[in-house]
Amino acid sequence: MVEEKSKPTTRLDYAIQQVSAANPFIGRCVPEVDMPSKPKMNPNMSVEHQLRNIQRYLVHLQYNFLPCTFFNLDKYRALFRILDTAREVVRESLPIRCLEATYVSLYFTQGMKVDRIPVTFKTLFQKQVCWHIVLAIRSGDRWGALGLSRKDDLMYKKHGFSSLSDLLKNYESAYAGHGHEVTCVKLGLPVSHSSTSQVVPCWRFISLNFRSTGCDRKELFLTVEKFCEMATRLAAEYEKHPMMCRGSERRKRKKRRKKKSDESTTVSPSRKVVVREKRTSTDSEGSVSSESEEERGGVYEEENDDSHDEDANREVIQSILANRSPFRRNQFNSPVTGVSRKVH
C-alpha cells in the first residue's frame, strides 16, 4: 500500500513541505565538502609564510552570510576561554565572521614571536554605522594583519608595512574605495601568549576619532607610533592590574542593567521585536545584516562608548604622547583628571 502524504497542520509544516518539493538534491547523492586542513606552522618558516598559511585557512572556512552565528562571540572573557572558542571553530569548520577570524588568528599565532594587537574600525556608509575587526601583527619592525571580510582588501594585509600608521592608512584607503568613511579606529593592547591566561584581552585601549573637528592627522598618527613604542610595557602593566580578570563580572553587571531597563520600559512584546530589528549592522558592502544580541555584545556593543569615555580617552592619549603610563597602582583612572577609564 502506498502511504498517503500527511497534510500540513501548521504554517511551518506547509513551508517545509514546499521547500522540500523544490529541493533539487532530494534523491541525489550530494558530495561531501572537504574539511579545510590546519595551516602548517613550522618554526623554520618565515613569519610572512606562516601568516599567509593562517589567512589561507581563514578564507577556506568562508564568510558566514547567515543572520546568526554558530559560536560564542563574547569578547569579555578570559583569554583561555576565547582560545577554547577558536578550537571549536577549527573542530567544526563552519563559516565565520571577522570576530571569530580574530579568535582563530590568536589561536594559531600563540606560539609565534609576534605582537598581536586587535584593531577595530568604525565606518559610516550611507548614514549607517559599520563595524569591523582585524588582528594587526608586528614582527620586528614590520606590520601585517589577519582577518576575514566580504572584501579582499579589508582583511589580510601582507607582512611588509613599516609602521602601524601605514597599515591603518591602507585600510582607510580601501574603505574609501568601497564608499565608507572611517570615523573611528580603536586599538587594543598586545594579547598575551599564555594559553592559560585568565586575563580578559584589552580590545580597546585608545580610540582615535577621525572625524573630530580640528583633527590633525599628523598628531593622530604620531599617537599611534607612540602607542606602538609603549604597547609592550602597557600590556605588562595591564595584566598585573587586579581588575583585568573580572571581565565576566563586568559582563554580568551590564546584562543585569539591561534587564532592569527592559523591565522598566512599558512596551508591548511586538514593539520590543521591532526595536531589535532596527538594531542592525552593515558589512563592508553596506548591506544590512541583522545581528543577534549576543553578536552585538561581541562586536558591536562599543557603539555607545565613544561619548561616555571621551574625556578619559583624551587623557590617555595625552599620557601616551608624554611617554607616561596611564595606569595607577591602586586604581585604573586617567592620569590627570582621575576620570574613571574603562578598558575593553
Selected catalytic residue, list 98, 130, 184, 228? 98
Strand residues in the chain grouped as ranges (E):
115-125, 128-139, 142-146, 157-161, 181-187, 206-209, 280-282, 288-290
- Non-local (6+) Cβ contacts of 252 within 8 A are none
β-pair type (142-146, 115-125): unpaired
DSSP state of 148: -
CA 128, 129, 131: angle at the middle one, nearest 5? 145
Distances (CA, A) of 93 to 27, 71, 100: 26, 11, 11
Nearest alpha carbon to residue 115 among 153, 89, 141, 97: 141
CA–CA gap between residue 168 and residue 178 (Å, rounded)? 16
> What grid cell was written down for 70?
554558530
Selected catalytic residue, list 105, 130, 132, 197? 132
287 flagged as catalytic: no
98 flagged as catalytic: yes
93 flagged as catalytic: no
CA–CA gap between residue 269 and residue 232 (Å, rounded)? 48
Distances (CA, A) of 69 to 177, 185, 267, 269, 296: 28, 25, 28, 24, 11
> What grid cell was written down for 72?
560564542
Selected catalytic residue, list 20, 29, 60, 149? 149
Q: Which one-letter amino acid corresponds to residue 189? A: L
Q: Which one-letter amino acid corresponds to residue 85? A: T
The catalytic site residues sit at 98, 132, 149
